[in-house]
Structure 1
Amino acid sequence: MTTSLDHTSQRHHATHEVLNQAPPRVDVDEFALNPALQEAVATFSPHARVERFHEIGRHVGTAQYQHDAELANIHTPVHHSHDRWGNRVDEIEFHPSYHRIMEYSVAHGLHTSAWADPGQGANVERAAGFMLVSQIEAGHGCPLSMTHAVVPSLRLSPELAAEWEPALLSRVYDPELRDPATKSGVLFGMAMTEKQGGSDVRANTTTAEPVTVGGSGGAGDSGCHVLRGHKWFCSAPQSDAFLVLAQAPEGLSCFLVPRVLPGGERNPFLVQRLKDKLGNKSNASSEVEFDSTLGWMVGEPGRGVRTIIEMVGRTRLDCVLGAAAGMRQGVAEAAWHARHRAAFGATLVDQPAMAAVLADLQLESEAATWTALRLASAYDDEEFVPYRRLATAVAKYWVCKRGPNHAYESLECLGGNGYTEAFPLARRYREQPVLAVWEGSGNVIALDVLRAMAREPESVAAFDAELAAQLGSHELYDRHVERVRGLIGRAAADPGAAPGIARRLVESMALAQQAAVLLAHAPAPVAEAFCLARLGDDRSAEYGALPDGVDIRALVDRA
């Protein structure tokens, strides 16, 4: 009997020690560990209070924040169409972790601080904070972005702006659906696309008929319409109000649709279902129906696209910010793993094949980060309106398209660990494609670039001036800009054939855009590596196949 017990006890002893695994990547300052973001903030907002970014960086680096990010994506939003007594309520329930994440971001002004405290560097600083939180939890960036982006569109109707802006610009997070007049803080969403049209919003069938109502919470009866129809994608349906496109008697127009009407009555806003998405799980996206739903016109009648495009431009910028933040997460996790893991007799980071992959991932992340902050700086200066019209679309196309493969390659650096849900890069891999799809997928963006070039030649001149400022800095860059100018000329000379080369054109413009900002501002090893690896004849389609001349160690050290 004694022998048997001893034998059983031995079977329960540990069979091995846990060795050669990276420790948890927690209790770090994500801003302090990101030299590209630090340098870009110093370049484009030299008077920024950088301690606030260190505070955000430390907060998102905690184990608790990372756990909240995980929980918010495991316990996804739930739609409750009716309350227990049968009343239609269409409420969206979130896990408490989501509310903690949202409360932190709103309290730090990562939704509307650039409007609440405008001035030189305001959009750069808001972008840097937005990127730091999005690096760890991406889904909640949607309502932050929509709320930030709605302001310029709303200001086209000063009465509505005066009514809504105080709560929009506050730093109070109040997720309860009730009379907006009783709330200190509100969030906005957007609903444009329909089943039959998608990106072709002029095919929308939702109607808007003018009516007279007994008050609208400060805006009077002016512009009030009854909406009927559907929306195939409605972002952040838990929000307090939305910008919506609908067909008014004058043509496609833009409307502000509140969830709760003045006095507390629910506006008919019928959530049909939440979208079951590949990624972006913490964020609620939905299909909605409007049936006698009240909305107030924003901007000019019949100019709905022109009105809402002010919002779309800003959300496209945030897609670039989000994709760049995802790249930073990918390479940071990959580098952390490689610095703590050994194989075949050496630490991974010291092995040439792995070092080349990490260097290339870091190069892509650097280019995206510098481009994102340069683009944000263009929103701080009205002088750059023509530049940002073209540059935003170009960057949105390229940076967001580079995101998914960057996430995959980063994930592969962790081996089998990276492919499990216990590590964050599986979630990031699912997350990155949405930034390329939303706010205009690839062909839509590429064709939008052609349209902007044809209708707003001043945007082409401004974009070219940005590139021309760096001519003479690098031979490969000079040759590439010559190719870009040739493609622009070709598209202008034959508009009918231009769509056939649209993607080739926009890709070449994007690479020139990234090279220009790196040559102007980034450390020399980064700019040199980019020109060699992305513009040179020896460039490769795969990460880690870098040409001769790239300072691999310098890039790895920055990762």
Structure 2
Amino acid sequence: MTATQSPAQQYATHEVANQPPPHSPYDASADTALLEGLRREGAGWAEEDIRRFGKLAGSEEAQLWAEQANTNEPVLRTVDRYGNRVDEVDFHPSWHNLMRVAIAEGGAASPWADERAGAHVVRFAGSLVWGHTEAGHGCPLSMTYAVIPALRHQPDLAAVFEPLLTSRVYDPGLRIPTTKRGILAGMGMTEKQGGSDVRTNSTVATPTGEDGVYTLRGHKWFTSAPTCDIFLVLAQAPGGLSCFLVPRILPDGTRNTFRITRLKDKLGNRSNASSEPEFDGTVAWLVGPEGRGVKTIIEMVNCTRLDCVAGSSATIRKALVEAGHHVKYRSAFGAKLIDQPLMRGVLADLAVESEAATTLGLRLAGAADRAIRGDEGEKSFRRIATAIGKYWVTKRAPAFTAEALECLGGNGYVEESGMPRLYREAPLNSIWEGSGNVNALDVLRALAKEPGAAQALMTELSLAHGADSRLDAAVTRLGTELTALATDLDRAQRQARRMVELMALTLQGSLLVRHAPAAVADAFCASRLGGDWGHAFGTLPEGSDVTGILERALPEGS
């Protein structure tokens, strides 16, 4: 090498060829299934906002925030420089940027203060596009959204905190909640000895003598976003397991006892601080009656499970978009990957799965919106279908993400591609708010204790009757299974996963037959319901309209 050589000559061995260009900026809302579902579920009035939000999500700036928030993990400070206990967590500025935008766009609890029909659908659709950034900051958004129906069991507390929770202003920092422009809420439910079995909780709540005020002593095993302003916590009161509101800062400005033992070292969701707090004389206010803690939080669980579906659907879509971008530009064996039949088959299969997840999720969001507004039929459907969707869509995310990563080959295994972050994130929603077994058993519980649940599901499925023989046969099989399992509870538990899977597939099939183009609906029914499908993505039946599926799933700009 000489001083007269040009940079191209000096680094000739590092010439970049046959690599895709940077993906961002792109439009995360360039998803036909999402936009059609938004209109169908009564929220078309927000389409312009969702499109704007999608472009922001795919911008270079937002994608950089996502990378930086994930790379620069939160840091726990238990004490200040003088030795005073503070139990605070420091986040990278990019985390705060993501939070600020998400809350301003209605990603937290603002739909509860919006009287327009479809407001909760809009939030769900916003989660689908903003989910193209970074998943960790979605946790405090979800908990803040979900806390409202539980808090309403105690109207005096709701009157104080609900206006702050539904605010679109992000106001970080531990201060007296009522002095802030907006607050966030967290949850403290599980303990180390029980996990999802919260009835084994050992945290004790002792009445102080002041009406509704208790002190807590105990611990929680998995409490995310410990910098939230208030928390709903389960503890054993004299009358049984009860729900309590715990503020980090008390009304007089002093710090409530909320000792953070450590932050969890997690597989994924690295940007989000998940902690192990301890309570010792911690002041708490009762929410709902003593002994009714589980009943008080059940509506909260419906909301967070819906957000699990949103999170997994967003991960699935993001993985598909990244894979689609790569294969449009990468060549192998003399042709672009996107033009090679085998790769096209893989992408088409992934696209069908993504549309099925998105379509089901938006239907669940529509049911939630209408149930919240008093529709009794939708309440029954929401009760069983949310658990079904949570079980299935979150289960599909890890396998889907692994296949999408493989479309990038070795490039997808490198951190800079972003795919490893998606892959580590993919299992989370299947675990959070009840693992697969918990949700499958919850479906059985709904069938046994809520007579309208099974009828609501079958009524929904009947709307597609006669449109596809494979779907009709699967629905008939489901009806037979439900009748048989109703008289054999032991067998019902053993077969719960098989039955919930069949429920999910028939529900997705019904929605696609009714609302998606023939190319998508036929491929889904033939593969997922007709039995003409292999054990890996990329095995759609011969004759599937691959071109039609891909043109719909990966339009220009996505």
| Aligned residues of 2:41 and 2:118 also touching (Cα < 8 A) | yes
Equivalent in 340, 359, 363 of residue 374 of structure 1: 363
Following the alignment from structure 1 to structure 2, what is the Cα–Cα distance between the partners of residues 74 and 22? 23
Cα distance in 1, alignment partners of residues 517 and 5 from structure 2: 63
The alpha carbon displacement at 1:424 in A equals 1.3
Q: What's the counterpart of residue 38 of structure 1? A: 35
Contact 2:43-2:121 at 8 Å conserved across structures: no
**Aligned match for 1:198, one of 180, 195, 198:** 195
Which residue type is aligned with residue 379 of structure 1? A
Q: Out of 37, 55, 58, which is 2:55 matched to?
A: 58
What's 1:397 paired with? 391
How far 1:300 moved relative to its partner? 1.5
- Check the 8 A contact 2:137/2:271 in 1, yes or no: yes
Contact 2:512 2:521 in 1 (8 A): yes
Partner of 2:291: 302
1:334 to partner: Cα distance: 0.4
C-alpha separation in 2, matches of 1:222 and 1:101 = 39
Contact 2:43 2:119 in 1 (8 A): no
1:90-118 CA-partner distances (Å, limit 9, x unpaired): 00100000000000001111111211213
Structure 2 residue 440 is matched with structure 1 residue 446: yes
Task: Decide which of 154, 174, 178 is 2:175's aligned counterpart.
Answer: 178
* Corresponding position of 1:112: 109
Q: What secondary structure is seen at the aligned counterpart in 2 of 1:48?
A: helix
2:19 — aligned with what?
Answer: 21
Indicate the residue corresponding to 2:476 in structure 1.
Answer: 482
Correspondence list, 1:135-534, <5 A: 135-212=132-209, 221-382=210-371, 383=375, 384-534=378-528
The correspondence for 2:531, drawn from 532, 537, 555, is 537
Tell me the distance in 2 between the aligned counterparts of 1:393 and 1:483.
20
Please give the secondary structure, in 2, of the residue aligned with 1:297.
strand
Structure 1 window deviating more from structure 2 (225-234 vs 108-117): it is 108-117
> Which consecutive aligned stretches of 4+ in structure 1 deviate over 4 angstroms post-superposition?
3-11
Residues 113/402 of structure 1: CA separation in 2 closer, same or farther (3 Å cut): same
- Counterpart residue number, 1:546: 540
Question: Who is 1:78 aligned against?
Answer: 75
Question: What is the aligned partner in structure 2 of residue 216 from structure 1?
Answer: none
Deviation at 1:549, TM superposition (A): 2.9
**Is the alpha carbon distance of 1:10 and 1:56 closer, same or farther for their aligned partners in structure 2, counting shifts above 3 Å?**
closer
TM-score (norm 2): 0.96
Tell me if structure 2 keeps the 8 A contact 1:337–1:414: yes
Superposed displacement of residue 11, structure 1:
7.7
Distance 1:7 1:293, change over 3 A: closer
Preserved contact between residue 527 and residue 533 of structure 2 (Cα < 8 Å): yes
1:268-298: CA deviations, max 9, x gaps? 0011101110000111111111000011111
Q: CA contact under 8 A between 1:45 and 1:125: conserved in structure 2? A: no
Q: 2:214, 2:284 within 8 Å by CA — same for their partners in 1?
A: yes
Q: 1:4 to 1:544 in 2, by over 3 A?
A: closer
**Pair 1:85–1:537, CA change in 2 (3 A):** same
**Match of 2:87, as an amino acid?**
D
Q: Report deviation, 1:392.
A: 0.3
Displacement of 1:403 in angstroms is 0.3
Q: 1:554 to 1:206 in 2, by over 3 A?
A: same
How big is the shift at 1:5? 6.8
**Does the CA contact (< 8 Å) of 2:27 and 2:54 recur in 1?**
yes
- The 10-residue stretch of structure 1 (38-47 or 330-339) with the greater mean CA deviation from structure 2: 38-47
Distance 2:392 2:201 in 1: 28
Distance 2:178 2:110 in 1: 21
Q: CA deviation at 1:8?
A: 12
Between 1:129-138 and 1:150-159, the stretch displaced more is: 129-138
CA distance in 1, matches of 2:522, 2:28: 26
Q: Quick check: 1:135–1:322 contact (8 Å CA) kept in 2?
A: no
1:135 counterpart SS class: coil
Cα contact 1:179–1:264 (8 A) shared by 2 = yes
Q: Judging changes above 3 Å, is the alpha-carbon distance between structure 1 residues 20 and 9 closer, same or farther for their aligned structure 2 residues?
A: closer
- 1:428-464 Cα shifts (integer Å, max 9, x gaps): 0000101000000011111111111101111111011
Contact 1:92/1:237 (8 A) holds in 2:
yes
Residue aligned with 1:262, SS: coil
Residue-pair matches, total = 548
Structure 2: gaps (5+ residues): none
Aligned to 2:223, the other structure's residue is in SS state strand
The one-letter code matched in structure 2 to 1:109 is G
Amino acid at match of 1:89: V
CA offset digits 1:135-157 (Å, max 9, x no partner): 22111110000000000000111
**Distance in 2 separating the partners of 1:290 and 1:327:** 38
Structure 2 match to 1:218: none
Q: What is the alpha-carbon distance in structure 1 between the residues aligned to residue 85 and residue 262 of structure 2?
A: 14
**What is the alpha-carbon distance in structure 2 between the residues aligned to residue 47 and residue 67 of structure 1?**
30
Query: How far is the alpha carbon of 1:55 from its aligned partner?
Result: 1.1
Please, which runs of 5 or more residues in structure 1 have no aligned partner? Answer: 213-220
| Residues 113-122 or 525-534, more deviating | 113-122
Deviation per residue, 1:308-351 (Å, 9 max, x gap): 11111100000000000000001000011111111111111110
2:486 is paired with a residue whose SS is: helix
**CA-to-partner distance for each residue in 1:185-236, whole Å, 9 max, x for gaps?**
0000101111111111000000001114xxxxxxxx4311110001111121
Identity of paired residues, percent? 53
Deviation at 1:28, TM superposition (A): 1.6
| Alpha-carbon distance between aligned partners in 1 of 2:22 and 2:7, rounded to the nearest angstrom | 31
Give the equivalent residue in structure 2 for 1:217: none
Query: Structure 1 stretch 98-107 or stretch 478-487: which is displaced more?
Result: 478-487
TM-score normalized by structure 1? 0.96
Aligned to 1:215: none
Q: Mean Cα displacement is larger for which, 119-128 or 401-410? A: 119-128
Per the TM alignment, residue 10 of structure 1 is displaced from its structure 2 partner at its CA by: 9.9
CA-CA distance at 1:9 after TM superposition = 9.5
Distance in structure 1 (CA, Å) of the matches to 2:178 and 2:471: 55
